[in-house]
Structure 1
Amino acid sequence: MEKSFLVVLSSLMISLLSSANAQTGTLKPVWESDTTLRTPECVLVDPGKNVLYIACINGNPTLENKSSYIAKIGQDGKLIKLKFTENLNSTKGMGIMGDKLYVTEMTQVAEIALSTGKILNRYPIEGAKFLNDIAIDTQKGVIYVTDSNDSKVWSITNGKASIVLAGAPLKGCNGLLVENNQLLIGNGDGSLLTLNPTTKQLNTIAKGMGGIDGIVALGNKTYMVTEWGGKIWHIRADGTTELKMDTSKEKINSADIGYNPTTQMLFVPTFFHNTVKAYSLK
């Protein structure tokens, strides 16, 4: 009886410690992909299929670059298909709604069949300069997109694009995340903002970082965010921040991250380093 109680208590303590590590953002290297992933900008987790989609710019993020592609790899880092979808234009942020994958190109959003990788539609955004990240409200069927060079947030509903927010305080906005009917926006001034899309009420969650690229939620109003230059930050529920990793001196970038809350694994695309790195938060 006493032994059984000790086993249960031990298991509970391990569980609590794992949860605490996830909240404090301890990053433990697990694997790194090979360098066939050329200029990876975004990692998207599809937990239902146990795969990762990688948006590979494959060169420079310009209007002329038509050689971008989306790769498909396992959550163990092993390549499944290098060019799941190709002939894309400077791919960056991605999101899934239903059986379709959405990815930004320079001035439009491509809609891709998850079953085949085939491009089904493209939704141009008039006047767009540098479309970057995507976040999708799957309940309302709304796709949100940032234009970093024009400091705007757009929405696409039923194929129609409209402006959600433009101008100050937005400045070089990039990362997006939909959480609890709120839209989190990574601003170029290093602040993490939260927007109510209905009322347009805008608040600041945290500040003091560099321009925010990727945003993932860890739960309990805590987040991991990245700076493209190579920094990963942990944001606590009270808005305080802690720098968890800095590979900028090694010139290893940290672009638009993905996160699997079930396995507590963080996936970091290294851009010009041409790999994806996986870290455990357990």
Structure 2
Amino acid sequence: MKTTDPAVLVVGATGTTGRPTIAGLVAAGRRVKAGSRGGTPLAGAEGVRFDWYDPATHAPALRDVDGLYLVPPPGDPEPAAVMLPFLRLARDAGVTRVVLLSASAVPAGGPAVGRVHQDLPDLFDTWTVLRPSWFMQNFTGDHLHAESARTEGELRTAAGRGRIGFVDAHDIAAVAVRALTDAEPPLGELVLTGPEALDHDTVAAVLSEVTGREIVHRHLTRNALRDRLAALMPPAFAELLADMDRAIAAGAEDRTTDTVHRITGRPPTPFRTVARRELA
């Protein structure tokens, strides 16, 4: 017989969506385990050690857990190899509700986390896959785009003039909290975007306005971007990201959805608001 309230385990607790998801869960009155390699406790959440590549950390992190928020291992082009065994373990440990962070560019059965998305319905009855567009925080945090904007005054992409419905990580977290706490949660896959689709030239102009520094968008070829990324990450993942930029250039991400507003009851946050909040 359990003597403690069941918890939600947030994997990727110290990341861009993990922190605001934990804050929302704590505010909603849920007990939370913050899973990270260092086991760092966060405000209102118990810190537990969790490493995708260290199975010895998995069962202890799942103790007294009934819900999961899962951020895939970053930079891994084949995350299913470590994620699916963990999800089977979670099912057997009594987890009943799972929210998986994927991406708008990755359908069920697609590359990277797409295979995990495909298999999730066979493992759990209550599941949600968040498929957000590209994060607005890519331009304000520790992402390569943010770093190059800060240090070189440039954004480098192979996306051309392709537009993206960039989304605030806090809006993603707000949807995740609803999926993890509502009595009748939003189920299935949810494509999340911001309120408007922007190209990288426009993003650079907004960043210039907010920071008071000139930031430009440098247009690269697909192969030039691949080669640049391959110096920083596994080559297969660099290929995947370069192909995503090529798809953006062809219009694959030029869309907006009403999902954030429909699930949370408030409109998604504009990019200029996020930039001012995090950079000004």
TM-score by length of 2: 0.30
Larger fraction in strand: 1
TM-score by length of 1: 0.30
Larger fraction in helix: 2
